[in-house]
Structure 1
Amino acid sequence: MIDVLVVEDDFMVARIHRGFVDSVEGFRVVGTANCGEQALTAAAELQPDLMLLDLYLPDMFGLDVVPRLRSAGHDCDVMVISAAREAEAVRGAVRQGVVDYLLKPFDAGDLRDRLERYSARRTNLSAATVSGQADVDRALGRVAAPAVTPALPKGMSVETSELVERALREAGGTLSAAECATEVGISRVSARRYLEHLTVTGKAVVSLRYGQAGRPERRYHWHTR
């Protein structure tokens, strides 16, 4: 569960943002603050993972909260949610290392998309080490070129594809569709469909293991280039 602190000076807007966040699976709002000083106090008390930060606060400019957070030892991530359209505000947010910048007004779907991308980036850095440059790029929110990540066939989801891909990368050898299904928590038929798609796109290689009787077993392994 990712704990979120909402920093917004308008009480009604803060309540709306809270409802948006709580509707996204894996996220929960642990507190709200209506000014910069309250945000710093709440961060110390609640230890959130993510702060949704408005920039137009009554006591300070929102970005001034970030260095004070860091100097106080708080390492929570910051996502700006603001009507501030000045280029300098955006550049300042980038310099402060914010994870995203969402302009008001927006709807629940806009925030959901950004929260889900943020969650995916956190997952990519959950291990002690990264397996390669692709993991670093995903953690930084960089998008691969379309030629590298073709669209999935109808009926296949990006989330499941990423789980299958990760299971294959971390297997340290080969996986059968049945083994992959158990690892990911999907049916064997679905696992095989995703694995076959990875072979078509060149991300995986399939080999055959022959037993004493019956069809040979298809074994998949990650294609290291």
Structure 2
Amino acid sequence: MIRVLVVDDDFMVARVHSGFVERTPEYEVVGTAHTGAEAIESVVRLRPDLVLLDIYLPDMTGLEVIQQLRAHAATGVDVIVVSAARDAESVKQALRGGVVSYLIKPFRYQDLRERLEQYAEWHRSLGDLTESRREEARQEDIDRFFARRTGGAAPSGMPKGITAETIELVRNALRSAGGNGLSAAECAESIGISRASARRYLQHLATTGAAEVRSRYGSTGRPERRFRAIV
């Protein structure tokens, strides 16, 4: 079983997220925490495999929690951020802190389940790599391991310049926008990336069938291309 600590300042939200985790095969919740200090203490005491971590906590930010966990030699724990924070700086700091995924609130159970299943697959591959009788890993083993780590495809299957983490941020932004969809400029502002990058990711989602694109014509100028998630 994969042991999970749920961290959220809202007691009811923590309960809901714990229920989501418990519904997912291979997972169990070993504790909940509602402050940053309590989260750090719980990680040291309970030694979970994974932390579902909110950014907005009453005593410190979740980003500061990640920094302290990374500085603590005894806390080799993975983190999935689950937060309403979608500003560019929070996302960048979380990614630099080594989080395995970033899920924007509010979200559906299926959204979290997909990430937990990806993490479980990576967790199994870590065990395979650790238990291998070979003294040295092959490059293809390492490639598969890191692909599962990010929930993406192997390097040869992912378009150049496209990462699984940013794809999920863009997809979540589209879902939050609902039927109106987003333009590349709106998407870029929403998740904190350049307009060119947003356009590239939106086009990738449209090409793979995860989004649809429509042109909206104004009174003057070129039509605006708007993208909408296909659930």
**Normalising to structure 2: TM-score of the pair?**
0.60
Give the drift of 1:131.
3.7
Q: How does 1:19-58 map to 2 (within 5 A)?
A: 19-58=19-58
Q: Cα 1:132–1:23, aligned 2, differ >3 Å: closer, same or farther? A: same
Give the root-mean-square deviation of aligned CA atoms. Answer: 1.7
Q: What is the identity, as a one-letter code, of the residue corresponding to 1:87? A: A
- 1:42-79, CA deviations, whole angstroms, 9 ceiling, x for partnerless residues? 11111100000000000111110012112222011011
Q: Equivalences for 1:158-197 in 2 at 5 Å?
A: none
Residues 118 and 148, structure 2, Cα contact 8 Å, conserved in 1: no
- Equivalent residue of 1:44, what SS? helix
Find the aligned partners of 1:137 and 1:119 in 2 and give their Cα distance.
Answer: 13
Q: Is 2:13 aligned against 1:13?
A: yes
Corresponding position: 1:124 with 2:134: no
Residues 137 and 143 in structure 1, CA contact (< 8 A), matched pair in contact too: no
Q: State the match for 1:186 in structure 2.
A: none
SS class of match (2:122):
helix
The residue number in structure 1 matching 2:153 is 143
**Which residue of the partner structure matches residue 70 of structure 2?**
70
1:130/1:124 CA distance change after superposition, 3 Å:
farther
In structure 2, C-alpha distance between the alignment counterparts of 1:111 and 1:99, rounded to whole Å: 12
Aligned residue number for residue 81 of structure 2: 80
Match of 2:111 in 1: 110
TM-score norm. by structure 1 comes to 0.62
Whether the 8 Å contact between 1:130 and 1:136 is mirrored in structure 2 is: no
Structure 2 CA distance, aligned partners of 1:44 and 1:136?
A: 26
Separation in 2, partners of 1:21, 1:100:
15
| Higher relative contact order structure (alpha carbons within 8 Å, sequence separation ≥ 6) | 2
Aligned length: 147
Aligned mates of 2:104, 2:6 — CA distance in 1: 15
One-letter amino acid of the structure 2 residue matched with residue 17 of structure 1: H
Structure 1 residue 122, shift from structure 2 partner: 1.5
Structure 2 unaligned segments of length 5 or more: list them. 131-135, 160-231
Give how far 1:32 is off.
0.3
Counterpart Cα distance in 2 of 1:136 and 1:18: 27
| 1:94 aligns to 2:101 (yes or no) | no
* 1:58-115 superposed Cα distances (whole Å, 9 cap, x missing partner): 0111110012112222011011000001011111111000000000000111100000
**Structure number with higher helix proportion:** 2
Larger Rg, first or second structure (1 or 2):
1
CA distance in 2, matches of 1:136, 1:84: 29
Aligned-residue identity in percent? 48
Unaligned ranges ≥5, structure 1: 148-225
SS of equivalent to 1:125: helix
Deviation at 1:137, TM superposition (A): 3.6
Cα distance between partner residues in 1 of 2:41 and 2:53: 14
